[in-house]
Amino acid sequence: MANKELHIVSTGAQSINTFVSIISEIHPFATAIHLREKQMSARDLYQTINQLIQRSVPLNKIVINDRIDVASIAEVGGVQLAYHSLSVGDVKRAFPKLRIGKSVHSLEEAVEAELQGADYVIYGHIYPTSSKKGVIAKGVDSVEELKKQLSIPLIVIGGIKPSHIPELIDRGVDGVAVLSGVLLAQTPIEAVKEYSKMLSKEMIT
């Protein structure tokens, strides 16, 4: 997929056994696998990581949301920070080996994340999505303006379908993050291949 990234984010709507089973099949087509399970304890997260490892999912592809302690102890590839998390700068100083992403919702938040040392940002939501009912989507035009201000990778999230990828890449994005579009698809492996194909296709044309 060249340098265009595909992040798969857990939905919180599936059993861990189902999630692990799907990820074990689709991980070769993904850049990163995010464990975003707010209801899970540190122990549960750690056990889930071990299950993924046992199914041959590379450690360096696994990203833990917010729980820096689990990410560090499990020696996964990265951590995704939210607005309520510790600051990017503090985490970067303490855990320099982790790839640190920051979830942002504005130009100001994105620029601040980069200044603090974030390795990439995830920005959204871009398109209307059922998980953000009543919240106005950011839209594709905001992506172009944001990209002009950043030198780190810009990953976008929210209601993204494979057919959206050409217009997103036209506006400079470095990758997409997907939840239900892959994990809740009727055939996840075919869905992830379609996202991957569109990202790769745009790199070639």
Which residues are catalytic, by number? Answer: 125
CA geometry: angle 110, 112, 113, nearest 5 deg: 65
Nearest to 177, CA basis, from 162, 158, 200: 158
Rounded to the nearest 10 degrees, what angle do helices 42-54 and 16-26 cross at? 40
pLDDT at 49: 98
- Cα 28 from Cα 57, distance rounded (Å): 8
Q: Over its length of 205 residues, how does the chain's per-residue pLDDT go in tens digits?
A: 456 999 999 999 999 999 999 999 999 999 999 999 999 999 999 999 999 999 999 999 999 999 999 999 999 999 999 999 999 999 999 999 999 999 999 999 999 999 999 999 999 999 988 776 667 889 999 999 999 999 999 999 999 999 999 999 999 999 999 999 999 999 999 999 999 999 986 444 4
pLDDT at 134: 66
pLDDT at 205: 42
Q: What is the pLDDT of residues 131-146, one digit of tens each?
A: 766 678 899 999 999 9
Q: What is the DSSP letter of 87?
A: P
Nearest to 143, CA basis, from 161, 170, 109: 170
Helices (H), 27-67: 42-54
- Cα 19 from Cα 48, distance rounded (Å): 9
pLDDT at 41: 96
Place of tokens 């707010």: 38
